[in-house]
């Protein structure tokens, strides 16, 4: 009885100590977030591009996102250094969201857009934090490193999967690497949009080990994109490399590496890619293309009947079988058509204004930043990355995607840092 009582008291003391320790850790974590919210933002960007939360820890991204928003809001209210200013990109994004909400109001099935609306709200908070927390060159470099590390992790997992499963490729069963994205096309999009940022980061980092590590991640992205067997990923990657070769043609390594890589590409592409073409294109007709064409025809019909406000935000998937000759519900597989069908001319017009504002901000950042500064390199890399994303949007519905929201935020912090440095130099 004495021993039992002693054990009970000991366990109670341990519990009290554990609770006190957890409370202390929690308090210190919140304090750190308020004092330096960028620490959480770095993790958020890494999770978004690495798909870690979706693969291993469901809900951690949203939880950390809300916590970071609360901490940043407290800092904003307490700090006199923080100011609220509306940029052109902010105004374009607000207009775009208003058009989405307007299309929902005119939709006969309002409830189908709730899920898309919640997802939009999540990425809107992400956009707000990225655009407002990153305020100097060091943070711009670090948040770009988070993009590269996250993409590199997902790409490495994709290569790991392919190394064990890809050898079982046959004419009827073709394995496509998906990484932590759990979708080959999503993985390909992440790879081709992070690739230009990674390449231009090579002009920023110092130290042989750092450059070798970054070069290794760049090669991982190229290889991971190839093993997804995604046609969009392959085409856009080649376009990205050619754009870089044209812009940086005076650099010796570009003149040597890019043409050599493009010429050797047919030998680097996995055999499953050619088998995929043979199985779908030569023998049976491209079933994937036929299905996508059917989904796109459905979108055009939706737009023709609802040209101003569309069929309603988030309604494309449910309505695709009603408007198109397809068996199961599908998305448009085209970002621009998807928005046009769901939100009409008003929605697409607002999205195009957002795209123009984002690209303009990046171009101005590259122009106003000093030619040898990190911001100058980053702005050029982000411009090409954004072009890659917009090209991917021709073949996929990625208007609710981390990159769709991250790129406008990047244009804001890049231009802010470039102008701050220019002002300080005067």
77-98 pLDDT, tens per residue?
877 665 667 899 999 999 999 9
Task: Please state the rounded mean pLDDT for residues 52-59.
Answer: 58
Q: Is the pLDDT of residue 28 over 80?
A: no
Domain ranges (residues) in the chain: 36-77+86-425
Torsion angle, alpha carbons of 299, 303, 305, 311, to 10: 80
Res. 166 pLDDT band, cuts 50 70 90: low
Q: Is the pLDDT of residue 66 over 50?
A: yes
Q: Please, how many CA atoms are within 13 Å of residue 9, restricted to the half-sphere of its CB?
A: 6
What percentage of the chain reaches a pLDDT higher than 90? 38
Q: Is the pLDDT of residue 412 over 70?
A: yes
Q: Kindly list the distances between the CA atom of residue 419 and the CA atoms of 107, 139, 358, in Å, as whole numbers in the listed order.
A: 43, 15, 16
Q: Kindly list the distances between the CA atom of residue 99 and the CA atoms of 117, 229, 339, 359, 411, in Å, as whole numbers in the listed order.
A: 12, 36, 10, 21, 22
Q: Is the pLDDT of residue 264 over 50?
A: yes
What percentage of the chain reaches a pLDDT higher than 70? 81
Torsion angle, alpha carbons of 323, 327, 328, 329, to 10: -10
pLDDT digits (tens, 9 = 90+) for 208-244: 898 999 999 999 999 999 888 888 898 899 899 889 8
Task: Please state the rounded mean pLDDT for residues 94-108.
Answer: 88
């Amino acid at each position: 009885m004495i021993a039992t009582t002693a054990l009970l008291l000991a366990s109670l003391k341990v519990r009290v100590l554990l609770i006190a320790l957890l409370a202390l850790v929690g308090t210190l974590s919140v304090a750190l977030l308020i004092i330096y919210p960028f620490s959480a933002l770095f993790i958020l960007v890494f999770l978004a591009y690495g798909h870690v939360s979706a693969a291993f820890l469901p809900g951690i991204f949203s939880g950390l996102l809300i916590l970071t928003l609360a901490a940043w809001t407290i800092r904003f209210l307490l700090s006199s250094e923080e100011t609220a200013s509306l940029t052109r990109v902010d105004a374009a994004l607000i207009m775009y969201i208003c058009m989405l909400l307007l299309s929902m109001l005119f939709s006969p099935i309002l409830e189908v857009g709730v899920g898309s609306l919640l997802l939009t709200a999540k990425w809107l908070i992400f956009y707000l934090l990225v655009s407002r927390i990153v305020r100097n060159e060091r943070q711009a470099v670090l948040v770009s490193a988070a993009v590269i590390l996250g993409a590199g992790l997902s790409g490495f997992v994709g290569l790991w999967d392919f190394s064990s499963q890809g050898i079982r490729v046959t004419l009827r069963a073709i394995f496509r690497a998906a990484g932590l994205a759990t979708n080959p096309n999503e993985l390909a999009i992440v790879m081709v949009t992070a690739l230009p940022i990674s390449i231009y980061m090579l002009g920023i980092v110092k130290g042989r080990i750092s450059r070798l590590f970054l070069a290794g991640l760049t090669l991982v992205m190229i290889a991971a994109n190839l093993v997804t067997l995604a046609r969009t990923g392959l085409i856009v990657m080649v376009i990205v490399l050619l754009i870089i070769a044209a812009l940086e043609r005076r650099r010796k390594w570009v003149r040597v590496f890019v043409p050599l890589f493009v010429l050797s590409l047919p030998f680097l592409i996995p055999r499953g890619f050619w088998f995929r073409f043979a199985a779908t294109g030569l023998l049976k007709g491209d079933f994937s293309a036929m299905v996508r064409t059917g989904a796109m025809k459905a979108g055009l019909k939706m737009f023709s009947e609802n040209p101003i406000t569309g069929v309603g935000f988030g309604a494309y998937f449910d309505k695709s079988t009603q408007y198109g000759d397809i068996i199961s519900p599908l998305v448009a597989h085209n970002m621009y058509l998807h928005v046009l069908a769901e939100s009409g001319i008003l929605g697409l017009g607002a999205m195009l204004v957002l795209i123009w504002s984002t690209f303009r901000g990046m171009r101005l950042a590259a122009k106003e930043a000093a030619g040898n500064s990190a911001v100058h390199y980053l702005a050029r890399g982000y411009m090409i990355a954004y072009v890659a994303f917009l090209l991917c949007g021709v073949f996929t519905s990625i208007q609710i995607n981390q990159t769709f929201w991250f790129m406008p935020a990047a244009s804001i912090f890049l231009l802010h840092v470039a102008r701050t440095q220019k002002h300080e130099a005067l």
